[in-house]
Amino acid sequence: MSERIAIVVGAGGELGRATAEALAGTGYTVVGVDRNEQGLKELSDGIRRAVGDATDPAAAQSLVDDIAAQAGPPEVLVNTIGTFRLGEAVAATPADLKVLMDVNLGTALWLSQAVEPYMRQRGKGSIVHVSARPATDPTAGMAAYSLSKAALSHLIRILDLELRPHGIRVNAVAPQLIDTAANRATFPAELLAHAVRPEAIANVIAFLAGDLAAPVSGAIVPAYGA
């Protein structure tokens, strides 16, 4: 087995699965994490699986610790976990904001905290999260979502400043719309015409995670499509 361990959180979903496959194809030993055990079964046989809910701060830490004990300390963490709700700012509820902040921002923070000691000890590591275009381009009709992704993008830059001196790079990819089954059921055809396939986003993530992107940290890389 490779000594280069990559953890992909959200590997039961379409983007996470594509990312796990892309990283495995570049030589990493990949551990796919998701609370959806059925989704994990769709991963290739060579990819390890760990069932758990990384949106829970305590579970995020224990998942990473278990993986480090069984497979080895992680060199790469990719977090594809995210959730989405439509709604204007004037109609946003406390529940909307809490859920989106907890999932889109909180998960990224808890996972980054969990892998940081292992990467710092190695003097090397790469963390990649998934932001979104509305984080930087104000978009009507998705207020709470945009705010949660904007907070995530700011977290990326803070983590970069704090972790880069220890050899840990932190970046994000920012799609506009990903061509997934869930999005095809939600958005009209004219928007989906510009959606990007999960495999294409996964290739950008794999680049950011790998050695070819060694000079890149603190970047929010657009992946908006045509």
Could you give the 3-state DSSP secondary structure of residue 194? coil
Q: Are 204 and 173 in contact (CB under 8 A)?
A: yes
How far is residue 152's CA from residue 144's CA, in Å, rounded to a whole number?
Answer: 12
SS percent in the chain: helix, strand, coil, step 5? 50, 20, 30
Dihedral sign, CA of 185, 194, 10, 53? negative
Compute CA distances 173 → 6, 59, 78, 140, 223, whole Å. Answer: 17, 25, 10, 21, 7
Is-catalytic flag, 145? yes
- 45-49 long-range contacts (CB < 8 A, ≥24 apart) are 47/11, 47/20, 47/21, 49/11
- The residue from 28, 118, 145, 224 that is catalytic is 145
How far is residue 205's CA from residue 198's CA, in Å, rounded to a whole number?
Answer: 10
| Positions marked active-site | 145
